Chain A
Amino acid sequence: GAVVSQHPSRVICKSGTSVKIECRSLDFQATTMFWYRQFPKQSLMLMATSNEGSKATYEQGVEKDKFLINHASLTLSTLTVTSAHPEDSSFYICSARKGQGTDTQYFGPGTRLTVL
């Protein structure tokens, strides 16, 4: 159990367009989902935390109008990169947590975004 999927796995888009990435918990209900960004050969950087039915909490330095997060159900969160630019190219990974606090986060397989 505890499987998290992401779609798409890879996306290439033109500069100025918007891209939506979906994160789904397939066999459990996720009270909280997290979105991370990872640059090549680097660690994961937490972008935001989203709880079902409420606004996401963004980390310092992350533009909330640029990275729109929606957590409409207990199994789905979406990240929309608006007006994407080449510097937004990165590996985006989501995770989902069943319970509260220190419960385990289960990670999706990641989405590779390339902005031309």
Chain B
Amino acid sequence: AQSVTQLGSHVSVSEGALVLLRCNYSSSVPPYLFWYVQYPNQGLQLLLKYTSAATLVKGINGFEAEFKKSETSFHLTKPSAHMSDAAEYFCAPTPQGGKLIFGQGTELSVKP
């Protein structure tokens, strides 16, 4: 069965620093992969989506993620953190069938 691991439940960076949020999935079939962001007391907003068209996926707000099949990873990065990036981030692979399998989430804090 598909599973996903987000390494680090909490990541703290300084404003302007690189953001790296890790996601590893486990599956014998390369899945589709999503990153969602959740601001406090809100629903989820789609950041980006991998659908095998390109291994480097660019999303909204300057985020991007690279699919690496050999490492079964789909890490999320942003070159320069903004205070407004502070939120909870969820990685979600989607095996055939369409259900999202959510990771446990990573809370990103941005220090001034």
Taking Cβ atoms with an 8 Å cutoff, the residues of A that contact B are 4, 6, 32, 34, 42-44, 46, 49, 91, 93, 95, 97, 100-110, 112
Contact = CB atoms under 8 A, between A and B. Distances in A.
29 contacts: A6-B43, A32-B98, A34-B99, A34-B100, A42-B104, A42-B105, A43-B103, A43-B104, A43-B105, A44-B44, A44-B102, A46-B99, A46-B100, A49-B99, A91-B41, A93-B44, A95-B44, A95-B100, A100-B98, A101-B97, A101-B98, A102-B98, A103-B98, A104-B49, A107-B36, A107-B43, A107-B44, A107-B45, A109-B43
Of the four ranges (under 10, 10 to 19, 20 to 34, 35 or more), the interface on chain B belongs to 20 to 34
B46 interface: yes
Contacts of B96: 101-102
Interface of B: 32, 34, 36, 41-46, 49, 51, 90, 94, 96-100, 102-105
Nearest to A2: B46
Nearest to A49: B99
Nearest to A102: B32
B99 A110 contact: no
